[in-house]
Each structure stands twice: as structure tokens, then as C-alpha cells.
Amino acid sequence: MTVTTHHTFCRICHASCPMEVDVDGTRVVAVRGVMDDPLFEGYTCIKGRQYPDQMASPDRLLRPLRRRPDGTFEETTSAEAFDEIAAELRRIIDTYGPRAVASYTGTGGYQNSVAVPMARAFHQGLDSPSFYTSVTIDQPAKSTAPFRVGIWEAGYHNFSDADVSLAIGYNPMVSSYGPVGGLQGTNPFVVMRRKKAEGMKLIVVDPRRTELASFADIHLQIRPGEDPTLLAGLLHVILREDLHDHEFCEQWVADLDELRAAVEPYDPAYVAERCDIAAADLEAAARMFAAGPRGTAGTGTGPNMAPHPSLTEHLTIVLNTICGRVNREGDRLESGWFLYPETPKRAQVIAPRPPATGAPSRLRGLRAYRGEMPTTALAEEILTPGEGRVRALIVSGGNPVVAWPDQALTLRAMQDLELLVVIDHRMSATAEHAHYVVPCTLSLERADVPHLMDRWFRAPYTNYTEAVLPKAGDVSNEWEVFWELARRLGSPIPLPGGEVPMDAKPSDDDIIDLAYAGSRMPLDEVRAKQRQVHPELAMVVQPADPECTARFTVAPADLMAELAEVRTERTGADVLLGSADGEYPFRLVSRRLKYALNSLGPEYPKLAEKGTTNSAYMHPDDVAELGITDGAIIEIRSPRAALWGVVESAPDVRRGVISMAHSWGGSSLTDEKVRDIGAPTNRLSVTDEGYDPVTGMVVQSAIPVRVSVVEPAPGEREEVPA
């Protein structure tokens, strides 16, 4: 036996940790981090280290499946599957028009650098606006809010040289995610320890004392959903104490006085009471942040899934803006942005403009933004009769049944489709409903570039990987699926570098070249510069154009009206069915688990050892008050639906909160199997109330719920009254 070692990077999640993979024939026998990598320094996580198990999993799909009329599946070949799917698509387009054909790329697809560009281009070729991804149920306000305020062309401060960092509802130690300017998942523990040793101050806003919060100088353990109130309070203190950057605001901000007036009612006493924190901590946090002089505030999924996400995102940008936390002339940008065409980086504002002006949705007056339709409306786009109704859906590495808001609605939609195609490597809860399941290549079987981290790495870093293994069966890269279908439909696929050739099948690298054409660093150079940092290639901020007259709008009328409305709410939960606090006293908040990536995890033995359910983490005093112990099952009921959770005491969760990971469970609307497969929190979200008017984002965290005991913990049955 000869074992060969290959260099690659992990694509289980976006973090792109470099890895050495030992291969015996076509079998992965070991994986490890790359110790001499200049950015990651050997860092990997438990999920990435499951590659050997993932590649050898007996449950992996290696041949396409077709649903029989009786609902069972039979194996077919990819050639046959593509012929049949294309014929169905042709019929649907001819009958209803191209809008009826939708695709949804989820987290699995996102880890492939060409899956999203190919899906997008497939829709362009078909002239169908029905292009969806998981971004619009994640943190969509991140891509819309900057347009509303105005964009600083040279970006906001970097994390690497920050003196202060304000982290609102994210946890890179588990998720590997941090916003631009925040701590990223590139070796997060070591980097944070270094930054703290250098004197950086950290402020964390989170209802849970997270792994990140354990490093905090100030942890504001707020009631979930009160981020707009908290941010308005921080702005109030900073403006009242005159701690903002006067010079910067005078030059670049159009409406500071309007902002001042809008945050006036958010005095520390009011904010502290509503958020249930100490007023002195709020004031100390405001002063600590304002002292800087470098460093930014940034948000994660927590507040972006809570009520008023556009407002939260807006106030966060405004906090950075009035404190002047922008890159100035001569500053260097942290990330390389090597994979995208170079755009000017001057120390000036790009004028504000309306954020969502794309194709109209048929629901709630929503529109596409950044070329994507809002996923929160897709189930209803499928179910609502009328012109433009979606009839075919291609799911590329996603799991709608456990991820989209309102599980019952989503299940109805999946069953109502005339054609559902799921591209996945396993029989997911969504694949069970498919007409065709197309098995995908796994990441070690394809070439890739780190297309997300390229803009988030904390240094100008390049990497590339070729395929380390041959395809294990009749499996397809996501791009191939779209290519095979487009070819049969006679539809073009226009990528930035030109139309994808249809006569002979391109390679992964051909597609990468077309998708990332015009990149700042030519792709062949990227391929030759694996795992390298290039300080000399950092983008340097250029002076402002003297003609630039654009200014930030920090107090646009609609958002300031929303802020005034927040002041009249009793709590952030008012946006959901006017749920009175007494009736739904708990808040269910989202979190990530180390041993799962959304719905992916427990099928791998070493991850299952860590847990086969998404525990309902609660404060020990709340658990005691319910008269139960760890392992008991509770019903968690929102104004619309209920799910079961297995209780686990967690002193790091604040009282009145249930902290629970999403995308667990299966297709059932009841949870008898909760101990073995968990339960999906998406069941509790609703699409038609409390949604964000710009992005259509719905409440997926800080959900008002009440709790009752279903079944005491095993072994405790006698002690606890029924």
C-alpha cells in the first residue's frame, strides 16, 4: 500500500482551513491541519476532521435516484436522470413560463466556489428571476443596509489592528464566522488570545455567555431581540457625551442632528431596563467603544434573525460611521480580494440608494436584491396560484424542510411541486420529497478557490485546491448539473468570462476560470500561490476624488420611524402576533454547535458521539423551576406551532431563554424521535408577520415561546407529577 499526501483546504464550512490529506488508493486515511500555514497555523475543527468518515460513509448516495409512483426510489443513471429532468423543465417552461423554474442553493452548495455562479447564470440563460440562496434566510440585511446609509468605498477598520471590537450576536469559536472587521474563524482562539495580550478591548452582546464572551471585557447579556434598543442606547451615550468623530461627521455625514433626535428617547435608564442589563455597563461599553481609536462593531446571525434586522444592521453601521471607523487614505485593506475584479478603494462615500430594486416577488411587496429573490417567500411562491407560480425547484446543497421558516408550510410546498430535484450526497429530509435526487461530488473530488474567505481573510492570503480524489460513483459537481440541464434545454450559461461552451464538457478549472474571470490576481497565479500571504499586494486606500459630494444618510426617515416604533413596543416580541409577554415568557434563540453544520453532522460516528439531538439549553434555575432535570423533554410552543426539546442545563444561558440549534429533525411535524434526530426550530417561524419590509427576513431567533413538560428525564418518572 502506498499512501500519498495531498494539500487541500476543507470545504465542510466556509472557513477554508488548509489540510493535508493522506490517501491510500482512493481511500482517505488521515487528515490534519497544516502547521506551517501562515494564517491558520495548523487550525482545523472536529467537523473537518471527519473527512475519512464522510468519504467512506455507507449512507453516501453514489447513483441518482428517481421516485416511483408509489413513493419509493429506484436507482438510475445521471444521463437518464438529466434527460428526464430536462424534459420536465421544458414542459414546465412551455406551460407556465421560465419564472416557474426556481433553484435554491444552500450551505452545502455555497462551499463549492462555482455552484452559486453557475446557478445564477443558469437562471440568466433561462430568463427566470427565480434564483434563491440561503443568504436571504441568513443575514440578508448585511447586503442591503449599507446601500441605505451609503458605502465607504475603502471599507471599515480591520480586525488585525483593532483597539476595540464590539461583537453583537456571533460566536466564531464555534461558528468560524465573524463579520468583516470582526474575529474570523481562521485560528480564532489563538488570534483572540494574541489580540487580548496586545490590549484589545472586547465587548460582546449576547444572551448567552458564549465562548467568545468568555474573552470579553464587557459582556452585555441582553434579553434577546433588544439589539435595536441597545444600539440606540450606545449612540445616545456617545452623542450625549460628544464622543463621536466630529471632523469625520462634519465632512461626511449629512444628517447627524436627525440621528441625535431619534436616539434621544433611548437614555441609559430606559435601555438598561428594557435589555435587562446594568445602565453603568451600557455607559462603560459606549465609552470603551468610542475610545477606540481603531476597531468596529459587527453583527452575526443572532440579531439578524431577531426582530428589526435592517434597523439593527443600520444602527451598527451608523455606530461605526459616527465614530469614524473607516479606512483612510494610505490604510491597507486586510483581505486580498484577489478573486474578484479590482474596484477603486478611495477614502470617500458612495451615495446612498434604495437597496431592493430587483424583480418583484408575488408576496408582501418584496423584491429581489443583489440578484436574488427572498427565500422567506419561496414556499408561498410555490403554493400561491396565479401567473408566475413556481412549479419546479432545484435544491443545490440545501435542506428546506428543516431550514426554511414555517416547516408545515415548507412541507406543503415541497409536496405541491411538479418537479423537485435535490442535489445532495445523502438522503436529507428534503431529498425524501424529491422526484430526483442527484448525488453530488464531495469537496475532495473537486477543484476550488476560497471564494467567501477571499473577502474575509485577515490578511491578503491565497489558496487553491485541485481535486484530491476521483469521483466515487455516478456523482456530479453542482456546476455539471446546471450545465447538463442547460445543454438539453438549449439555454446558454453566461458567466462573467463568457458563455460556458456546450459542445464538449468543460473541467472544474475551466468553470472556475469563467466564473472568476477578471480577478484581481489572475487565476493561474492563484493556483501557483497556495497558502501564501502577500503583504506587498494589500490594497492601499487612495485619496478621495475632490469632486465627491456624496454623504452618509445616518437617519433615513423610514428607519428612524421604525426606531420610534420600537420605543412603543413592550418588547421585541410584539412584532409576532402581538404576543403578550405573560403568555409567551421565554425567548428561543439560535446558536451553532461545534459538532454539526446546520443539518449535517450526526450521520458521522464521531460527531454523533457528541450528541444526537439539538438540546434545549436553559438556565439551571429555569430548569429547576419546571421541576425537571437534564434529559427531560419539554414542549416549546410559539404563537403558531410547537416542537419538543431535550432539556440541558446551561449556566451560560440567561434566564428566560432557550438556546437551541436549527436544522435538526426530519420531515415529521411531531417529535417523538427528538432524542435521536432532534427537532427543527424553523417550525416556529412564520413568514407573514414580523418580517423585515426590505429583505423579507423573518424572525428566526428571539422567538416568543412558552414551555411545558412533556416527559420527565429517564429515571425521574416517578418523582415528577404528570
Residues that bind ligand SF4 (CB under 6 A): 10, 12-13, 15-17, 44-45, 47-48, 176, 185
Q: Which is nearer to ligand SF4, 44 or 465 (CB)?
A: 44
Per CB under 5 A, which of residues 109..148 are in contact with Mo ion? Answer: 138
Is residue 192 within 8 Å of 204, Cβ to Cβ? no
DSSP notation for 598-645: TTBSTTSHHHHTT-SS--EEE-HHHHHHTT--TT-EEEEE-SS-EEEE
Closest distance to ligand MGD from the beta carbon of 682 (Å) = 4
Q: Which does 40 bind (CB under 5 to 8 A by kind): ligand SF4, ligand MGD, Mo ion, none?
A: none
Q: Which does 398 bind (CB under 5 to 8 A by kind): ligand MGD, ligand SF4, Mo ion, none?
A: ligand MGD
Q: Which is nearer to ligand SF4, 17 or 86 (CB)?
A: 17
Is residue 595 within 8 Å of 47, Cβ to Cβ? yes
Closest distance to ligand SF4 from the beta carbon of 596 (Å) = 11
Closest distance to ligand MGD from the beta carbon of 397 (Å) = 3
**What CA–CA distance (Å, rounded) separates 234 from 232?**
6
Q: Which does 48 bind (CB under 5 to 8 A by kind): ligand SF4, ligand MGD, Mo ion, none?
A: ligand SF4
Number of residues that bind Mo ion (CB under 5 A): 1
Q: Which is nearer to ligand MGD, 201 or 426 (CB)?
A: 426
Closest distance to ligand MGD from the beta carbon of 446 (Å) = 8
Is residue 254 within 8 Å of 149, Cβ to Cβ? no
Residues that bind ligand MGD (CB under 6 A): 13, 106-109, 111-112, 134, 137-138, 168-171, 174-177, 205-208, 210, 224-225, 227, 300-303, 305-306, 396-400, 403, 423-426, 428, 440, 442-443, 478, 589-594, 596-600, 659, 662-663, 681-682, 685, 700-702
Burial class (CB in 10 A: 0-12, 13-18, 19+), 549: exposed
Q: Which does 169 bind (CB under 5 to 8 A by kind): Mo ion, ligand MGD, ligand SF4, none?
A: ligand MGD
Closest distance to ligand SF4 from the beta carbon of 180 (Å) = 18
Q: Which is nearer to ligand SF4, 17 or 101 (CB)?
A: 17
Give CA torsion, residues 298, 266, 700, 597, to 10 deg.
Answer: 30
3-state secondary structure of 95: helix
- Residues 484-513, mask of contacts with Mo ion (x by CB under 5 A): ------------------------------
Closest-CA residue to 369 (of 353, 383, 381, 380)? 353
The number of CA neighbours under 13 Å toward the Cβ of 320 is 31
Closest distance to Mo ion from the beta carbon of 117 (Å) = 19
Q: Which does 10 bind (CB under 5 to 8 A by kind): ligand SF4, ligand MGD, Mo ion, none?
A: ligand SF4
Alpha helices in 490-641 (DSSP H): 508-515, 523-528, 557-568, 605-608, 620-625
Closest-CA residue to 130 (of 380, 472, 456, 445)? 380
Q: At what angle do helices 227-240 and 309-322 cross, to 10 degrees?
A: 20
Q: Which is nearer to ligand MGD, 345 or 433 (CB)?
A: 433
Q: Which is nearer to ligand SF4, 16 or 700 (CB)?
A: 16
Is residue 600 within 8 Å of 664, Cβ to Cβ? no
Burial 612-645 (b: 16+ CB within 10 A, else e): bbbbbbbbeebbeebebbebbbbbbbbbbbbbbb
Q: Which does 300 bind (CB under 5 to 8 A by kind): ligand MGD, Mo ion, ligand SF4, none?
A: ligand MGD
3-state secondary structure of 133: strand
Q: Which does 589 bind (CB under 5 to 8 A by kind): ligand MGD, Mo ion, ligand SF4, none?
A: ligand MGD
Q: Which does 305 bind (CB under 5 to 8 A by kind): ligand SF4, ligand MGD, Mo ion, none?
A: ligand MGD
Nearest residue to the partner ligand SF4, using Cβ = 48
- Using only the alpha carbons of the chain, give its radius of gyration: 25
Closest distance to Mo ion from the beta carbon of 700 (Å) = 10
Closest distance to ligand MGD from the beta carbon of 550 (Å) = 31
Assigned C-alpha cell, 518: 477578471
Q: Which is nearer to ligand MGD, 261 or 278 (CB)?
A: 278
Q: Which does 303 bind (CB under 5 to 8 A by kind): ligand SF4, ligand MGD, Mo ion, none?
A: ligand MGD
Within 8 A by CB and 6+ apart from 349, the residues are: 150, 151, 152, 153, 252, 548, 550, 551, 552
Closest distance to ligand SF4 from the beta carbon of 16 (Å) = 6
Closest distance to ligand SF4 from the beta carbon of 679 (Å) = 24
Nearest residue to the partner Mo ion, using Cβ = 138
Q: Which is nearer to Mo ion, 138 or 603 (CB)?
A: 138
Within 8 A by CB and 6+ apart from 545, the residues are: 346, 348
Q: Which is nearer to ligand SF4, 31 or 576 (CB)?
A: 31
**What CA–CA distance (Å, rounded) separates 611 from 16?**
25
Closest distance to Mo ion from the beta carbon of 327 (Å) = 27
Question: Any idea what the Cα angle at residue 596 is, between residues 591 and 601, rounded to 5°?
Answer: 150
Closest distance to ligand SF4 from the beta carbon of 396 (Å) = 19
Closest distance to ligand SF4 from the beta carbon of 15 (Å) = 4
Closest distance to ligand MGD from the beta carbon of 182 (Å) = 9
Closest distance to ligand SF4 from the beta carbon of 197 (Å) = 23
**How do 392-396 and 419-424 pair as beta strands?**
parallel
Q: Which does 17 bind (CB under 5 to 8 A by kind): ligand MGD, ligand SF4, Mo ion, none?
A: ligand SF4
Tell me 712's DSSP state: P
**What CA–CA distance (Å, rounded) separates 567 from 585?**
20
Q: Which does 105 bind (CB under 5 to 8 A by kind): Mo ion, ligand SF4, ligand MGD, none?
A: none
The helices-and-strands tally (H runs, E runs) of the chain is 24, 26
Strand boundaries in 114-198, DSSP class E: 131-133, 151-152, 164-168
Q: Which does 99 bind (CB under 5 to 8 A by kind): ligand MGD, ligand SF4, Mo ion, none?
A: none
E strand or H helix that includes residue 239: helix 227-240
Q: Which does 452 bind (CB under 5 to 8 A by kind): ligand MGD, ligand SF4, Mo ion, none?
A: none
Closest distance to ligand SF4 from the beta carbon of 560 (Å) = 39
**What CA–CA distance (Å, rounded) separates 79 from 455?**
37
Q: Which is nearer to ligand SF4, 106 or 292 (CB)?
A: 106
**What CA–CA distance (Å, rounded) separates 690 from 642?**
18
Burial class (CB in 10 A: 0-12, 13-18, 19+), 74: exposed
Q: Which is nearer to Mo ion, 31 or 305 (CB)?
A: 305
Q: Which is nearer to ligand SF4, 16 or 136 (CB)?
A: 16
Q: Which is nearer to ligand SF4, 17 or 61 (CB)?
A: 17
Q: Which is nearer to ligand SF4, 295 or 300 (CB)?
A: 300
Q: Which is nearer to Mo ion, 138 or 484 (CB)?
A: 138
Give CA torsion, residues 116, 119, 124, 125, to 10 deg.
Answer: 140
Q: What residue ranges bind Mo ion (CB under 5 A)?
A: 138
